[in-house]
Amino acid sequence: MKIACVLGPMFEDSEFKDPYDALRSAGHEVTIVGLEAGAVLEGSKGKVKAKADKSFKDVKPNDFDALLIPGGSSPDKLRAHDEAVQFVKAFMTARKPVFAICHGPQLLLTADEYKGHRMTAWKTVLGDLQKAGADVVDQEVVVDGNLVTSRMPADIPSFIRESLKVLERAPAKR
Amino acid sequence: MKIACVLGPMFEDSEFKDPYDALRSAGHEVTIVGLEAGAVLEGSKGKVKAKADKSFKDVKPNDFDALLIPGGSSPDKLRAHDEAVQFVKAFMTARKPVFAICHGPQLLLTADEYKGHRMTAWKTVLGDLQKAGADVVDQEVVVDGNLVTSRMPADIPSFIRESLKVLERAPAKR
């Protein structure tokens, strides 16, 4: 399947690289979508660099079957831009698979796509979601329909396992 | 007056340094309180370094008359620790002057100190506060009783001006 990975500066290194690698190893095509095509983004721990393949202006949600939102400071940087928020919102509205870890669910909060969805997130974001009225739970991975969420780097193996399971059963919707 | 400045890693350089310098120039004593006493903290733009004078364990809210919360990634790092959240909460409960800029109000959100207060914040945080039920407004500085909030580095002059005004009229409460 074709998967968009939305990425901004200061992403959490392993929360990008491990799911990205696992999705590609499973045969999926992953496109890194950022604020500027060709921009080289650095992880907050300085271990991983990634180049944005496309900007939000270059792509449409309909070009993709699923969405990956890594954590770190990246989601808060992205959600300051309406083009990123609307891109994410379209996947939720279409009920396509969305995989968000750590601070990733901040994009769901800003996109107004949290009510009626059971989810988890990094603890500071979990509190924000809860105060906004989301149905939150503090566990390593939460699968709610096509939405998979996790809290932190230690949860990555469960996050990848459940994300791949969702892709196996989700029909391509493009 | 004695002012606590709560600071964590990746603070926004000018949102710490400019108010910090201005408060000291006005004759106030500013103590940097962080997660670890003596730790050297770096600004996200790499322009400013600051050493934590004290840790949250070393101080009590009653040691101080007012609180400064600079922005950047610092507030989200701090609010993952309950000792930081409870420290901030105590200033709000005591209605002492609190000055929070950019991401600073994230600490007020996690501390459950946003209802019944009119405030502003960086636009991503403003949205979170609004969804949680806060009374938010998008302007360069908002003064609500002893609470002064601003949105971003461009607002710093107004933020400093109004913070100093609040200190002039606030009685020392220790």
Average pLDDT per run of 10 along chain A, which is 174 residues long? Answer: 97 98 98 98 96 98 98 98 98 98 98 96 98 97 98 98 95 64
Amino acid B167: pLDDT: 97
Amino acid B172: pLDDT: 64
Please give the ipTM for the structure prediction. Answer: 0.94
Question: Nearest CA to A139 among A148, A124, A150?
Answer: A150
| Residues in contact with B27: Cβ distance below 8 Å, sequence separation at least 6, in sequence order | none
Contact yes or no for B124 and A76 at CB 8 A: yes
Report CA A10 to chain centroid distance, whole Å: 14
> CB-CB: which of A10, A76, A131 is closest to B132?
A131
User: How far is it, in rounded angstroms, from Cα B40 to Cα B118?
Assistant: 34
Question: Nearest CA to B42 among B85, B68, B73, B64?
Answer: B73
- Is the distance from CB of B87 to CB of B68 less than 8 angstroms? no
Amino acid B170: pLDDT: 79
Amino acid A172: pLDDT: 64
pLDDT of residue B173 exceeding 70: no
DSSP structural state of residue A172: P
Q: Using a pLDDT cut of 90, give the percent of chain B over it.
A: 97
Report CA A64 to chain centroid distance, whole Å: 13
- At residue B155, the 3 state secondary structure works out as helix
Question: Nearest CA to B65 among B108, B115, B5?
Answer: B5
- Is the distance from CB of A1 to CB of A172 less than 8 angstroms? yes
Phi, psi (rounded to 5 degrees) for A84: -70, -40
Amino acid B84: pLDDT: 98
pLDDT of residue B85 exceeding 70: yes
User: How far is it, in rounded angstroms, from Cα A30 to Cα A19?
Assistant: 10
In A, which residues are within 8 Å of B124 by CB distance?
Answer: 76, 79-80, 106, 110
- At residue A11, the 3 state secondary structure works out as strand
pTM value is 0.95
N- to C-terminal Cα separation, chain A: 10
CA of B124: which chain A residue's CA is closest?
A: A80
Is B103 a catalytic site residue?
A: yes
Q: Which residues pair with B6 in a beta bridge?
A: B33
Could you give the angle at which helices B123-132 and A123-131 cross, rounded to 10 degrees?
50
Q: Which residue has the tokens 């083009």?
A: A83
How is the beta sheet containing A147-150 ordered, strand by strand? A54-55, A29-34, A2-6, A66-69, A98-101, A147-150, A141-144
Query: Two tokens at A15?
Result: 């929360």
- Is the distance from CB of A19 to CB of A71 less than 8 angstroms? no
b/e string for A142-151 if b means 16 or more Cβ within 10 A?
beeebbbbbb
b/e string for B9-21 if b means 16 or more Cβ within 10 A?
bbbbbbbbbbbbe
User: Chain B interface residues facing chain A, Cβ-Cβ under 8 Å?
Assistant: 10, 73, 76, 79-80, 106, 109-110, 112, 122-124, 127-128, 131-133
Domains along chain A with CATH numbers:
2-169 (3.40.50.880)
Query: Two tokens at A152?
Result: 């932190």
Residue type, B144: D
